[in-house]
Amino acid sequence: MTTHYRACNLCEAICGLRITVDDGRITDLRGDPDDPLSHGAICPKATALIDLHTDPRRLRTPVVRSADGFAPIGWDDAFDLVTQRLREVESRFGGDAVATYLGNPNVHNSGSMLSSGGFLRTLSTRNRFSATSVDQLPHHVAALDMFGHPMLLPIPDVDRTGYLLILGANPLVSNGSIMTAPGMRARLRALRERGGRAVVIDPRRTETAAAADEHHFIRPGTDALFLLALISTIFNEGLVRDGRLAPLLAGIEELREAAAPFTPERVAARTGIAANTTRAIARAFAGAPHAVAYGRIGLSIQAFGGLCQWLVNALNAITGNLDEPGGMMWPLPAFDMLLRAKPGEIHAGRYRSRVRGLAEFNGELPVTTMLDEMTTPGDGQVRALVTIAGNPVLSTPNGAALDRALARLDFVLAIDPYVNETTRHAHVILPPAMGLEVEHYDVVFHHFAVRNTARVNLPVVDIDEDQRYDWQIFDALAQRMSGKSLTPPRERLDQGLRFGPRHTSVEALLAHPHGVDYGPLEPCMPERLLTADARIHLAPQRMLDDLTRLRATLDEPIAQFVAIGRRQLRSNNSWMHHIERLNRGPDRCTLLVNVDDAAELGLIDRAIVEVTSEHGCVRVPVETSVEMMRGVVSLPHGYARASLNDLTGDAIDAATGNAVLGGIPVRIAAID
């Protein structure tokens, strides 16, 4: 019997685990109390790692599509077939005829993070897509415009703040999200015990809102108006406190002028938040010794996601809470993805999509146009797709139409351990080892963590002789496509650690199985600033231009009902819904409806309703709730039988290209 220590890699919290293995069988899994970041915190998903390891539905060797379904094929034969088919498509139709899609699990797997790019670069396509543009793209655009690089995302220093303003986020369920913060319930409790306050702005009284000091309903899609009203109040009442960063702040007067028309009184009817409430929050935030505003996915996946993430950063900056303890700060990870970044580098707008003319960002196009590129004839039409750990049929807008389009492609390759709604269309599936079977380092999430830590995670169990790691799959394909081998991920990781800011190594980190604690976040500006002029831009032109579009919404009619999504502790985007221990109890794929709205519509709990938008229709059971704002309903995404994404179309946030998945006008009708 042996005990292993590693981090869970199913979500951003990267909770430390203590795992007992007896004769190759996992007999116990619990939180690691000695982990310097999570301190023993754990959520139900971590226990599902055992189920994923033993899951009989998982593929462990390649399969090829046949007339009778999927049939086994040897690894070398599969690699040769994939190479042949991809080259055929490129030869006949050009490089852009092959599209790629990377799903969210890639960033939770260092083998993929450090190796997939080597394979993808053997494809000459510009049609690259990922889950980024249905999630956090507005964060990256705001970071680029304000701080000079898409990965310079400031993170709330929640452990030292005295006033935490949370907008469109539910960190008690997500464990952070662009804020790697395991054990958020304990962190919120500690905030209140030291005399601080937590205030939540959300159309739903979430689990986080229930644990906060204040919760205020806000109409979906109006967060940018509310943030502008806060900023307008702070300027008008002389509450600006630019602090140590004052010499670095460019555009403060332009920000003042831009916010001026959006007074609390002007926006109140639209947001649903009374003017006096907005002013009180602005004064409390500006007056707190340490305060931080944090906005997450509810802000990003609406029509003004870019404005929201810009304004969150700007609010922190003008109150002296940027790059200061207790405010918004930047981690300094041991493996630093910004190590070779240069000030003023261009990361966006280098080309546009063929059909809709949407701008590239960081080497990718908005995923909302992937369907257009498949279905619109002409030179450059997508005729083949490579998916890596993704299920865009469930995770991106207009999934039903995408499902039909995938069936017509000449070739689909899926690098994925499961047959799902997307990979069922694959001609070849190459399944990598996963979870507790792989060596792992959190390349991305140490950049988002609320404390500077690092750990290398060794495999807990061995793989079978006929399994392959993801980096071995990418290496085999790269060799066949280009004749070049890839550098193994451990070698790349070790090099990054040695030359990184902590000057450590894989070997040094392995000597600390619980992880290494480098301490709390520390001020780092202007040293890490990457704008060409070494200034923080509080009024990027892209965002100022988009205010015209926002201003036009002030006098638009308000829809009777709009739909939003919701995060669930026992769910993980579009997968793990088949894991039994995570799906015990009542059905969680329900439409949450305010109790008074339900009464007016004549709806009762578990009645089936038809929810219809301009783009789609689903049937789903009702769950009446006092936690919903009137006129707002909530449906989770990623379920095969009914999903929020089934109601969405190809609308994007014009400033960033991110998909609009929240605040969707809908009609609700009872089914006899």
Task: Using the predicted structure, report yes or no on whether residue 573 has a pLDDT greater than 80.
Answer: no
Question: Could you give the residue ranges of the DSSP H alpha helices within 70-114?
Answer: 75-93, 110-113
Whole-angstrom distance, CA of residue 348 vs CA of residue 141: 9
Residue 255 pLDDT > 80: yes
- Give percent above pLDDT 90 in the chain: 92
Answer yes or no: is pLDDT of 24 > 90.
no
Please tell me the predicted confidence (pLDDT) of residue 569: 81
Is the pTM higher than 0.85?
A: yes
Residue 150 has pLDDT above 80, yes or no: yes
Query: Taking a C-beta distance cutoff of 8 angstroms, is the pair 635, 668 a contact?
Result: no
The DSSP secondary structure of 31-48, one letter per residue, reads E-TT-TTTTT---HHHHH
Phi/psi of residue 496, nearest 5 degrees: -65, -40
Across the range 297-302, mean pLDDT stands at 96
Q: Is residue 613 predicted with pLDDT exceeding 80? A: yes
Alpha carbon of 597 to those of 147, 626, 662: distances in Å? 44, 10, 19
As a whole number, mean pLDDT of residues 130-140 equals: 97
Is the separation of the CB atoms in 510 and 4 below 8 Å?
no
- pLDDT confidence of residue 551: 97
**pLDDT class for 642, splitting at 50, 70, 90?**
confident
CATH architecture of the domain with range 559-670: Beta Barrel (2.40)
pLDDT number for residue 640? 81
- How is domain 2-54 classified at the CATH fold level? Phosphorylase Kinase; domain 1 (3.30.200)
Output the pLDDT for position 378. Answer: 96
Question: Is the N-terminal amide bond of 526 cis, ω within 30° of 0?
Answer: yes
In this structure, the strands spanning 617-625 and 591-594 are parallel
> Measuring CA to CA, how many Å separate 120 from each of 112, 382, 657?
11, 16, 22
Q: Tell me the CA distances in angstroms from 444 to 114, 129, 336, 364, one per residue in order.
A: 11, 18, 9, 18
- pLDDT recorded at residue 251: 98
- CB of 96 closer than 8 Å to CB of 355: no
In sequence order, the β-bridge partners of residue 20 are 3, 28
Tokens of 105: 């699990």
CA angle (107 as vertex; 649, 190 as ends), nearest 5 = 95
State mean pLDDT over 362-370. 98
- Residue ranges matching CATH 3.40.228.10 in the chain: 137-333+528-550
121 pLDDT band, cuts 50/70/90, is: very high
The mean pLDDT of the chain is: 96
- Does residue 666 surpass a pLDDT of 90? yes
What is the pLDDT, as a whole number, of residue 556? 93
Q: What is the DSSP letter of 276?
A: H
232 in the Ramachandran plot: left (φ > 0), alpha (ψ -120 to 50) or beta?
alpha
Q: Which sign, positive or negative, has the C-alpha torsion 498, 502, 507, 513?
A: negative
* Contact predicate 239/283, CB 8 Å: yes
Q: Does 242 score more than 90 pLDDT?
A: no
Q: Is 572 a residue whose pLDDT tops 90?
A: no
Contact in structure between 429 and 414 (CB atoms under 8 Å) = yes
C-alpha to C-alpha distance for 387 and 102, rounded to whole angstroms: 6
Chain centre distance of CA 358: 21
pLDDT, tens only, 211-241: 999 999 999 999 999 999 999 999 999 999 9
Q: How far is CA 588 from the centre of its chain?
A: 21
**Stretch 108-128: mean pLDDT:** 96
Chain centroid, CA 391 distance in Å: 14
Contact 449, 155 (CB under 8 A): yes
* Secondary-structure class of domain 63-125+366-437+469-486 per CATH: alpha beta
Quickly state the pLDDT bin for 574 (edges 50, 70, 90).
confident
Residue 583: pLDDT band (50, 70, 90) is confident
Element (H, E) at 518: strand 516-520
Cα(363)–Cα(562) distance, integer angstroms: 33
With tokens 């060799």, the residue in question is 479
Question: Does residue 575 surpass a pLDDT of 90?
Answer: no
**pLDDT at site 494:** 98
- Tell me which residue of 63, 126, 132 sits closest to 98, measured CA to CA: 126
Residue 665 has pLDDT above 80, yes or no: yes
For 304-351, write each residue's pLDDT tens digit.
Answer: 999 999 999 999 999 999 999 999 999 999 999 999 999 999 999 999
CA–CA gap between residue 363 and residue 129 (Å, rounded): 9
Q: What is the pLDDT of residue 587?
A: 85
Q: Which CATH class is domain 137-333+528-550?
A: alpha beta
- CA 83 from centre of chain: 31
617-641 per-position pLDDT tens digit: 999 999 999 999 999 999 998 888 8
Q: What average pLDDT does range 346-359 have in this prediction?
A: 97
Flag the least confident range among 22-31, 246-255, 273-282, 534-543: 22-31
Name the percent of the chain in helix, strand, coil, to the closest 5.
Answer: 35, 20, 45
> Where do the CATH 3.40.50.740 domains begin and end in the chain?
63-125+366-437+469-486
In angstroms, rounded to a whole number, what is the distance separating the alpha carbons of residues 245 and 247?
A: 6
Q: What is the pLDDT at residue 223?
A: 98
Q: What is the pLDDT of residue 628?
A: 98
The ranges of the chain annotated as CATH 3.30.200.210 are 2-54
